[in-house]
Structure 1
Amino acid sequence: MIQRRVVMVGYHAAELLDIACVTSSLVMANLHGGAPPYGVFLATPSGLPVTCASGLTLQGQLALERVTGPLDTLVVSGGIGHEAAAANRLIVGHIRRLARESRRVASVCTGATLLAATGLLDGRRVTTHWRYAHVLAARHPEVVVDPGPIFIRDGEVVTAAGVTSALDLALAFIEEDHGVALAREVARYAVTYLQRPGDQAQMSIFTQGPPPSDDLIKRVVDHITGHLDTDLTLAALADGAGVSQRHLTRLFLKHLGQSPGRFIRRARAEAAAHLLISTPLPMTAIAARCGFGTVEALRQAFVDRYGIPPSRYRSVRTAT
């Protein structure tokens, strides 16, 4: 049977999870009946073993410089060794060559640094790990870097955010190639969240906490996230914190980079997203639980945060 040839590019100090999330997911798809199956290979410089950032060593299956197309998919891994790899003209040159011979090209995490070095990302909207996004944008002003989404597709090029977003990327490929049912089966087999949408934020209100050094902001944020259905007006929050509204706004802007109102709107939208996919609650109940006065207010905030209405989000995320 004809295979979908997938080549993963590795190098010294690559991130093992970047590689494994993609390769293991595609092999799982094969085991669950994906046809034509994926032929998954790790290509390294000269085909030599590479020591990953974790200290474990992976044996290259193919010599990068000897790989020839056509390929179905070329995926470049990220890792703390990305800058050294991007500075290696031979590695970059072969990635550029193989990209021209591939139906689909992708990067995971800081693998975008290598793709940017090839020129393939010029004029494209891309993402990478949020911690390195500003560096990529500064070094490659011709690339439109968006640090927000889990992954972004621009034409035949797909760039994914940090580390475990590689799993979301692989599931998206499986769904694109073989359909929703197989992607869901692989997700269940991997015991993971079905599949986060590409436009979901890398950093969530509920995981991106304020600096622990500022106790007042931490207390206010804890109150907000634990009482989304209560009065969270600026006046109420400032009164509860014992500071002026102006001072509270100034502290939010300093420590969180956004106003209290924007923070609350985002927190409520993220809570609604969780309820949409984890409960059968109707929109009216979700709107009430998350502090939205009306379903329309929920819809507007949701579209602003995720780009699609909540009803569409629920149908896509719970499809089987």
Structure 2
Amino acid sequence: MSAPYVSLAGIAKRWNGQLGVEGISLDIEEGSFVALLGPSGCGKSTTLRLLAGLELPDEGTIHIDGRDVTTSAASDRNLSMVFQSYALFPHLSVAENVVFGLKVRRVPKAERQKKMARALEITGLTGLEARKPAELSGGQRQRVALARAIIAGQRLCLMDEPLSNLDAKLRNAVRKDIKKLQRDLGITVVYVTHDQTEAMSMADKVVLMKEGRIQQIGSPDDLYNRPANTFVAEFVGAPPMALMPSAQVPGFGSDHTLGLRAEHVRMVPRGEGRLACTVSEVEFLGSETLISLDCDAASGLSVLLPGLRMMSEGEHVDVTFDDKDLHRFDPSGQRIG
């Protein structure tokens, strides 16, 4: 088995005794798309900065392409970066922004022009070479930043929340662009986001973090269908997984916690369900309706029904589910089985 292209082993970073990240160990295969996901302050951007060489770890090692870069400068790590803020020079044109790095490295003009034309074509910016950043939309500015990363020709690209300044429609479009670019160019991408939709739709591997530590590493399917603990269960998925004490569910008498996804909950006639609830909110989503429920036995319980379903808040309903669809967690919140 070949060695991973990027490897972080036992990485820790603290500031004045305050935890940044702790015990970060992660292997990244070449050509993969890895998302660092988690709430604000969980350490995902710190992890990216450590990988980039913008911060140095207090403990642990970092290897890129078989080379120990733990204490190497960012410029010696053979990687490119795309930031949330675009980081474009406002006084330079699109073309000048894209080739700036090549110019600094004294790449011959003919080669610069050839690489620029290719990068602009890939990112859909051909024809906008003479425009200044102020004359571009947010999506176009982010594409300039992507073109600049592409033209650098590095096999590893780090992206720090690159879409957070865009509106929802643009985020969706540029998200597809980034994934297509990564696939077409065969580059390795490490992508920081707090948006689970971005992580789940783009990444081959998702690294979910909380309070400076990794909670689970796996495919989007793993995190959704086999959450390692109750934090993962509640963070991943919209709506999140409902959790309930097992003693509250008829047929279960232990001190475990049970988890249940909305798509596995069914409404049944009164008196025939496993739980009695009241409707707290009804949200029409287009192809289906999300009905949020108040239930003494469960927190966050909801049910997805096809099409438009009209129900009144406060209406009493019974719900049921199959035991095979229940996720089990021990008293510490860790997955069982």
TM-score normalised to the size of structure 1? 0.35
> Per residue, is there more strand in 1 or in 2?
2
Larger Rg: 2
Choose between structure 1 and 2 for higher RCO, CA contacts under 8 A separated by at least 6 residues: 2
> Per residue, is there more helix in 1 or in 2?
1
TM-score normalised to the size of structure 2? 0.34
